[in-house]
Structure 1
Amino acid sequence: MPTIEVSSPALPVPARRSVALRLTRWFTSRGVPAGHVVVRFTTPDPGTVFSGGMPLEALPHDGEGLHHASVTVCVGPERDEEFRSGLAEEIASALGLTPGTPFLYIEFRETDPGHVYLGHQGRLRRASEALAAAEGKAHR
């Protein structure tokens, strides 16, 4: 169950939806069920994230595209470097990375689906069980 958390200046809902749909399509083209892709957006308060002693919002920016973002991506341990690299490029493009973007940080965290719990029909079950169930339905 891939999960992407984007921390950036406030994005309007249509921009968030566009990023979420684009990333969901990227995953589904690689066999991940759309309902298993989670994209979460947060907006840090000004002056709470620093790089080199400077608050990110103070870094020079040309006004085009992305100003700054920190992204944390949780994917299964079976995902190889080619997958992670391709996903990082897709995230950067979806967020609007330009040569004038002063800061973009993308971190991958390998997360075993057996260590993730989901609420399903009033009870918790492991994401690995949900994935196995979804794969079983796809093979029918």
Structure 2
Amino acid sequence: MPTVDVTSTPLTASARLRAALRLTRWMAAHGSDAAHVAVAFRTVEPMAYFCGGVPLTSYQDGADEGPAARWASVVCHIHPGRDHAYRAELAEEIRQALGLEESAHLTVRFEPTQPDRVFYLESGSMTSGGPAPAGRGATKGLEHAHH
């Protein structure tokens, strides 16, 4: 279950929807189940994000939503088997999806996450992408193990 957590300047609802759809489609094209791609957006309060000791959010930030982020910090939880090329391509896709210009501040951090460490609700019960204990549907959830 790949997850993308975006922290940025305020984005309009349509900009968030556009970015989420674009990232979901990209991940689905690269082998993930689109139904399990999660994208979350968080807007920071003024004077809450600093780089090199300099605030990237000012006292005036927070009220105006825009169609593109001015800066972003992103954390992606992905399968540990994803290689450097995948991560580099996804980082660029995130930059484009958020509308960040070449001079903007953007960091994308990848957190490899074993599928058996992610649980999700399916058909009324919690399941994970890892192998089930012997005798309890040992193959259930394996279809998500590489996504």
- TM-score above 0.5, yes or no: yes
Q: Does 1:106 align with 2:117?
A: no
Name the residue aligned to 2:117.
115
Give me the whole-angstrom Cα distance separating, in 1, the residues matched to 2:102 and 2:24. 25
On the 8 A contact 2:33/2:144 being kept in 1, the answer is no
Q: CA deviation at 1:111?
A: 0.3
> Aligned residues, how many?
130
Give me the whole-angstrom Cα distance separating, in 1, the residues matched to 2:111 and 2:103. 27
Name the residue aligned to 1:33.
33
Structure 2 alignment gaps of length 5 or more: 59-65, 131-139
Structure 1 pair 131/44, CA: closer, same or farther in 2 (3 Å)?
Answer: farther
Extract structure 1 runs of 4+ deviating beyond 4 A: none
On the 8 A contact 1:72/1:106 being kept in 2, the answer is yes
Give me the whole-angstrom Cα distance separating, in 2, the residues matched to 1:34 and 1:47. 35
Q: Give the TM-score normalised by structure 1.
A: 0.84
Q: CA RMSD in A?
A: 2.2
Give me the whole-angstrom Cα distance separating, in 2, the residues matched to 1:2 and 1:120. 16
Structure 1 alignment gaps of length 5 or more: 136-140
1:57 maps to a residue whose letter is T
Give me the whole-angstrom Cα distance separating, in 1, the residues matched to 2:144 and 2:92. 30
Q: Give the TM-score normalised by structure 2.
A: 0.80
Kindly provide the CA deviation profile for residues 2-34 of structure 1, in whole angstroms up to 9, marking residues without a partner as x: 100000111111100100110111111112111
On the 8 A contact 1:5/1:41 being kept in 2, the answer is yes
Give me the whole-angstrom Cα distance separating, in 1, the residues matched to 2:31 and 2:23. 13
2:48 maps to a residue whose letter is T
> Secondary structure of the equivalent of 1:57?
coil
Identity percentage of aligned residues: 41
Superposition pairs for residues 1-140 of structure 1, below 5 Å? 1-58=1-58, 65-101=68-104, 103-128=105-130, 129-130=140-141, 132=143
Give me the whole-angstrom Cα distance separating, in 1, the residues matched to 2:67 and 2:10. 15
Give the structure with the larger helix fraction: 1
> Secondary structure of the equivalent of 2:4?
strand
Give me the whole-angstrom Cα distance separating, in 1, the residues matched to 2:4 and 2:88. 14
